[in-house]
Amino acid sequence: MTRLTGKVALVTGGASGIGRAACERLAQEGARVLVTDINQPGGIATVESIGKSAIFQFLDVSQESDWVAAVEQAITSFGRLDIVVNCAGIGFSCHAEEIELTAWNQIVAVNLTGTMLGCKHGIRAIKQSDGGGSIINISSVGGLLGTSDLAAYCATKGGVTLLTKAVALDCAELDYGIRCNSIHPTYVDTEMLDPVAEMIGSREQMVSTMVRNVPLGRLATAQDIANSVLFLASDEAAMITGTSFLVDGGTTAGMPACHSAQ
């Protein structure tokens, strides 16, 4: 359990779901973790679940001043920064013709601008530490494929996909030793699906509907994604950068069979 000994990680959205699981998994492998979120009680609960190797910092990812403060906190408290996990994200569903501009601006601010700021300030901080580092952006299968009622979400996650590739190339060409990859989960059974379950009226019905699109026959768990974060953060992924890392249960592999008797 020492794959990240001596490393320091900053994780956004660390108060719940994938973010909390990522914080806990990185800490299990020896990293010291700055847990960040706008949800202070949830973030503190994550810190308490980890112990002395984690601290909490309020961070609204859409605000550059918050990023400056968070990075300064990581370096002041732990002496360095090696890993940034841009996990904070929001989503909403509606038809394209019904998107409200305020909602559009909000999702762009959190999902895309927030990730850009994480890359920008992550690079600056990681450069100060020896040995390079890793930036991991949580995108989605919706960043690779369109979904009819998620136009705004897909637009932001698609932006994260190509932002990741551009950042990876930039860091490589400048010889920073910083890798940048995106992770693309299928549906993940976390609190983020609660509004969908409420709208449908049954979490069981929601899951059974979503599972039809996942060849492996289940939704992903936060731990599934956290394990992928750990791998991309570790030296085992030293030759991986600019990659769209699929954790989708086969969702994007292709269409289901329809040419043979069932």
What residues are annotated to the active site?
Answer: 153
- Contact by Cβ (8 Å): 85, 79: no
Q: How many CB atoms lie under 10 A from the CB of residue 229?
A: 28
Angstrom CA distances, 89 to 18, 103, 115, 198, 216, stand at: 10, 13, 9, 19, 25
Q: What does the alpha-carbon distance between residue 182 and residue 191 come to, in Å, rounded to a whole number?
A: 21
DSSP state of 250: T
Phi, psi (5° rounding) for residue 144?
-125, -30
Q: What does the alpha-carbon distance between residue 94 and residue 149 come to, in Å, rounded to a whole number?
A: 5
- Contact by Cβ (8 Å): 62, 113: yes
Phi, psi (5° rounding) for residue 158?
-65, -40
Q: What does the alpha-carbon distance between residue 111 and residue 20 come to, in Å, rounded to a whole number?
A: 17
Contacts of 255 (CB under 8 A, 6+ apart): none
Which residue's entry shows tokens 């320091």? 8
Q: What does the alpha-carbon distance between residue 43 and residue 62 come to, in Å, rounded to a whole number?
A: 18
Phi, psi (5° rounding) for residue 261?
-70, 140
- Contact by Cβ (8 Å): 7, 82: yes
